[in-house]
Amino acid sequence: MTGRKTSLHPLGPLTTEVMQTLWAAREPLTPRAVLDALNSGRRKPLAYTTVVTVLSRLAERDVVRRTPAGRTFAYEPAVDDAAAAGRGLKRRQGTGRVHDNPAR
């Protein structure tokens, strides 16, 4: 055991948006690329540090993998959308949000 947190807690709305962005990407994304995608059409833009924090916490929980990319990291999902459902993450019907399913 690595001592890292592996339990999946409920994903909030922003974390869900980040994961959906990563799932839709065909390659690992830098925090700047995730930020640009999230801020597209957003009324109040997110801060770069907010996105980095979310990505770092997801990496600590083994939900995403990160690899060095120059002076930053590139992030990709450690589980696909279907595998996330198998690990206890389910989409709430009608909301598009992902949350933990404690019954699994």
Whether 103 has a pLDDT exceeding 60, the answer reads no
Each residue's pLDDT tens digit, 36-63? 999 998 999 999 999 999 999 999 999 9
Q: What is the mean pLDDT of the chain?
A: 80
Whether 101 has a pLDDT exceeding 50, the answer reads no
Whether 96 has a pLDDT exceeding 60, the answer reads no
Each residue's pLDDT tens digit, 72-93? 999 999 987 766 655 555 444 3
| Domain parsing of the chain, residue ranges | 16-88
Whether 3 has a pLDDT exceeding 60, the answer reads no
**Percent of the chain, pLDDT > 70?**
68
Q: What pLDDT is attached to residue 10? A: 67
The DSSP line for 1-52 is --S-----PPP-HHHHHHHHHHHH-SS-B-HHHHHHHHHTT-SSPPPHHHHH
Average pLDDT for 85-104: 46
Architecture of domain 16-88: Orthogonal Bundle (1.10)
Residue 38 and residue 46 in contact, taking contact as beta carbons nearer than 8 Å? yes
Identity of the amino acid at 71: R
